[in-house]
């Protein structure tokens, strides 16, 4: 198989670092671009000496002039704690980042994949979420910088495809977890694990009846690469996530069991626009990509807990 020059934006982040690693294993040259707002050099430290790996500190809201064959556009803070810290910059990263990467793809004739999100569905009125569902998003709420930024990025991808005949791929990522998650990103899996390992109370927002579907990072990266390598003309969007649904309370209880923690569960008010249900319909991914997740929540959580032990 011929080696490709592949650009990964957000490559020092949680998902990006796993993707860079996998692309190198497949024999490619990888250019990892990150402004290190939420990504860290620690995530890619083991790759820096690799002869086919290059790291560039760069913000995707500014144009990038490089020669590449494929682009994975992952750059954007993805947890509420980080994307609400500077909401204007979050929107700019999604929108200007998409414009700059699409412009680069147009010039170099590269195939380009957009890491979109299940948040484009907002607080969904249908369950599970299917790709044709257009969503229920509050455009002026505190989560809109991320939700609407990603929705606009999808718009740009499909307009570039129609207007410039670009070879695009759009994936909608559902809750993903695993080693190299940011320990302070406020996401439910990392929050619960850190609290349990420290023996602190586990904080549940609302009654814990809201549901999430948790996909282990290795499964997610498999789906991402399968989408990039899918036949030309299949653009997506396609849901990539684990359709097994768990309540937040069930997740907390499982984390306590696996960490053998003495933590108690406490309940707090629900944040604004927090989705009540989140579950992907992955029929399309099964049909078009022959992809479905294989790693059960218990197995994935055990690996993630091992990683987080170093932070406590």
Pick the catalytic residue from 146, 160, 177, 216.
146
Q: How many Cα atoms are found within 13 Å in the side-chain-facing hemisphere of 211?
A: 14
Q: Are strands 245-247 and 211-213 parallel, antiparallel or unpaired?
A: antiparallel
235 is catalytic: no
3 state DSSP class of 269: coil
In the chain, where does DSSP find H-type helix? Answer: 14-25, 41-44, 80-83, 87-108, 144-164, 188-198, 217-228, 248-259, 283-289, 297-308
Q: Which residues contact 190 (CB under 8 A, 6 or more apart)?
A: 177, 181, 182, 183, 184, 308
Phi, psi of 251 (to 5 degrees): -60, -45
Return the biggest CA–CA distance within the chain. 58
Whole-number Å distance between alpha carbons of 278 and 246: 9
Catalytic residues: 146
């Amino acid at each position: 198989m011929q080696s490709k020059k592949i650009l990964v934006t957000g490559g020092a982040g949680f998902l990006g670092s796993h993707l860079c690693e996998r692309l190198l294993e497949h024999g490619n040259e990888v250019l990892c671009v990150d402004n290190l707002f939420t990504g860290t050099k620690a995530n890619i430290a083991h790759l820096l000496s690799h002869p086919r790996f290059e790291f560039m500190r760069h913000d995707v809201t500014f144009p990038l002039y490089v020669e590449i064959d494929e682009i994975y556009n992952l750059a954007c803070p993805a947890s509420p704690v980080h994307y609400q810290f500077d909401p204007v910059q979050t929107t700019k990263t999604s929108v200007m980042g998409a414009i700059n990467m699409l412009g680069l793809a147009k010039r170099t004739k590269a195939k380009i994949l957009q890491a979109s999100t299940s948040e484009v569905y907002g607080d969904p009125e249908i369950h599970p979420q299917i790709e044709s569902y257009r969503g229920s998003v509050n455009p002026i709420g505190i989560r809109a910088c991320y939700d609407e930024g990603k929705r606009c990025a999808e718009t740009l991808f499909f307009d570039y495809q129609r207007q410039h005949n670009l070879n695009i791929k759009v994936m909608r990522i559902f809750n993903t977890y695993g080693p190299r998650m940011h320990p302070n990103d406020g996401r439910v899996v990392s929050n619960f694990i850190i609290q349990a390992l420290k023996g602190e109370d586990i904080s549940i927002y609302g009654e814990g009846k809201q549901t999430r579907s948790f996909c282990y990072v290795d499964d997610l990266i498999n789906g991402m690469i399968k989408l990039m390598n899918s036949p030309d003309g299949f653009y997506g969007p396609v849901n990539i996530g684990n359709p097994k649904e768990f309540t937040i309370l069930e997740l907390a209880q499982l984390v306590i069991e696996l960490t053998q923690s003495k933590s108690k569960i406490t309940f707090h008010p629900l944040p604004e626009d927090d989705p009540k249900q989140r579950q992907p319909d992955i029929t399309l991914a099964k049909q078009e990509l022959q992809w479905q997740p294989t790693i059960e929540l218990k197995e994935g959580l055990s690996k993630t807990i091992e990683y987080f032990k170093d932070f406590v």
